[in-house]
Amino acid sequence: MFPRTRFPSFSGHYTEKSLHDAVLELKSGLSRMFSDSDIGLPVIRSNNIKDYCLDFNELKYWFEEDPQGATTSNYYLRDGDILVNFINSQAQIGKSAIYYNALNRDCIYTTNILALHINKEHSPEFIFFFFQTKKYDNYIQSITKPAVNQASFTTKDFRKMKIFFPDLAEQTKIANFLCSIDEKIALLNKQYGLLCQYKKGIMQKIFSQEVRFKDESGEEFPEWDFISAGKLFENSSNKKHKGDLPILAVTQENGVVNRDSINIDIKSSQESINSYKIIDKGDFVISLRSFQGGIEHSSLQGLCSPAYTVLKNVKPIIDGFYRFYLKKDSFIEELSQTVVGIRDGKQISYKAFSILELPYPSLPEQKKISDFLFSLDDKIAVKKAEIDKLKTWKQGLLQQMFV
């Protein structure tokens, strides 16, 4: 058997083996009620395995000398150990990461993770990248036993998994190449994170007026006015339609979108649609989740459920300025203080929103701020597209470089 894509210096056959043939040791971790306080040993749990990497935030800890008599050193992780979720949700089952001692201290792991220590005849990195292929995913699904809360598979079935191996030199070459792609992805992710962090910080400074823009002549803009939200936005309940406009949904991630685009299978009767409100381009919408994600802006015209509060500006505004302001963290925190509890969640009434104080800078300054923040969004989107493109390329290579 041969892969579709191969380094030209190699030509030998791939040999089919079971995972068992490559594993020196495979076992699950320690089961305890771990501590939030650093009492000795960091503990890696399932939630630390994210996107094929180990996230060392939100670690738990355990004693170096186990009060129940277990030998904790039996669970110490070694560089190159592969960690696999084998008791988890259906979505996370089989997800993996490779361990390197980034903390420079001994670490242990929990009972719902398998640690694989690979023998010297095989590359742990090669196996780890195989664990990112569709072939691996399909095998994991075939051996997983679903359950109400957590799915699982047995170590016996896991060991039986078939993998085609080239010789160790080619395994290492493939692993090093894919590691270099991961390093590039990690660098782009870091740049993306820094851009997002910068945007968050500069928004705080702009909206607190710690940072001010100047006009085209280099002069200061006028001082900001502050007015109640009710004097800036009215509660719009326009239902004068024939039900012929698209039905819209309000999301925290993407704002107001066509409901058909988010795979929500909701059938609305004509009678129900007749009660829907019109959202116009430029309107803002309070949803049942605005206390978590802020108030959304609409660039679409359509219909929405009467459960939403549609806000229409009654004074001239630059949409973009309020699009950012009504989604910033400190405003969401202020908004969350106005919620009224209901059976299935929380809602923010127009009355409660209307008494909040909002900034009202001059329109030229609103536009300058809006343009600046949109330019940051463009840079963030470009960086995200670079990451997605590289991940897609890597996924294609995984399917071609493994048999």
Q: 46, exposed or middle or buried, with CB in 10 Å at 0-12, 13-18, 19+?
A: buried
Tell me what pLDDT residue 118 has.
98
CATH of domain 167-222+361-403: 1.10.287.1120
pLDDT band at 340 (very low <50, low <70, confident <90, very high): low
Taking only the tens place, the pLDDT of each residue in 75-111 is 999 999 999 999 999 999 999 999 999 999 999 999 9
Query: Spelled out in words, what is the top-level CATH class assigned to the domain 15-165?
Result: alpha beta
Mean pLDDT of 29-39: 97
Indicate whether 342 pLDDT > 70.
Answer: no
Nearest CA-CA partner of 70 in 94, 43, 96: 43
Handedness of CA 83, 86, 89, 90 (dihedral sign): positive
Indicate whether 297 pLDDT > 60.
Answer: yes
* Ranges assigned E (strand) in 302-380: 302-304, 309-313, 340-342, 345-347, 357-360
CATH superfamily of 225-360: DNA methylase specificity domains (3.90.220.20)
Domains 167-222+361-403 and 225-360 agree in fold: no
Taking only the tens place, the pLDDT of each residue in 142-189 is 999 988 889 999 999 999 999 999 999 999 999 999 999 999 999 999
Domains of the chain, by residue range, sit at: 15-165, 167-222+361-403, 225-360
Taking only the tens place, the pLDDT of each residue in 43-63 is 999 999 999 999 999 999 999
Indicate whether 345 pLDDT > 80.
Answer: no
Tell me what pLDDT residue 344 has.
47
pLDDT band at 259 (very low <50, low <70, confident <90, very high): confident
Which residue, chain included where needed, has tokens 């903390």? Answer: 103
Tell me what pLDDT residue 186 has.
95
Lowest-confidence segment of 175-189, 293-307, 372-386 by average pLDDT: 293-307
* Structure tokens given for 274: 């007749």
Q: pTM here?
A: 0.86
pLDDT band at 33 (very low <50, low <70, confident <90, very high): very high
More reliable by pLDDT, 31 or 264: 31
User: Which CA distances in Å does 330 have to 67, 214, 291, 335?
Assistant: 44, 25, 11, 9
Mean pLDDT of 322-333: 94
